């Protein structure tokens, strides 16, 4: 039997299926942006739409999918519905993935930019 880091056995088919479904939801750039924004703090749909540059109905649909999958939760504050990520592990996954890719694509300080070339 193969082992994972920490000496654990291979995950079950059910766990792999659930993980694939979660990664499938996060494969949408719009949903990933929403998750990134929510990993920074809670927000209502209007502010999320402004932040991610999406149309309000589209952001609402993305939030509904994320909520149905259990990645996002919401609570009512007066007339507003406030969304948040209640799972610190999901926040970590999103922050690590986006942070690593950002670091890879950022030019090294002082290297490789057109203005630095003679």
Backbone φ and ψ for 81, nearest 5 degrees, come out as -100, 120
Nearest in space to 96 (alpha carbons), one of 16, 52, 39: 39
Element (H, E) at 25: helix 13-26
What are the tens digits of pLDDT across the range 12-71?
A: 999 999 989 989 988 999 999 999 999 999 999 999 999 999 999 999 999 999 999 999
Q: What is the pTM of this model?
A: 0.77
Could you tell me which residues come within 8 angstroms of residue 64 by beta carbon, excluding any fewer than 6 positions away?
none
């Amino acid at each position: 039997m193969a082992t994972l880091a920490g000496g654990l056995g291979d995950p079950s088919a059910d766990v792999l299926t659930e993980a694939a479904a979660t990664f499938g939801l996060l494969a949408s750039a719009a949903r990933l942006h929403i998750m990134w924004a929510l990993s920074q703090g809670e927000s209502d749909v209007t502010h999320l739409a402004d932040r991610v540059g999406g149309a309000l109905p589209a952001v609402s649909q993305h939030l509904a999918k994320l909520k149905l999958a259990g990645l996002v939760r919401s609570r009512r504050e007066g007339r507003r519905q406030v969304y948040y990520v209640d799972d610190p592990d999901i926040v970590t996954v999103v922050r690590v993935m986006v942070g690593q890719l950002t670091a890879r694509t950022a030019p090294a300080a002082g290297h490789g930019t057109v203005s630095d070339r003679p």
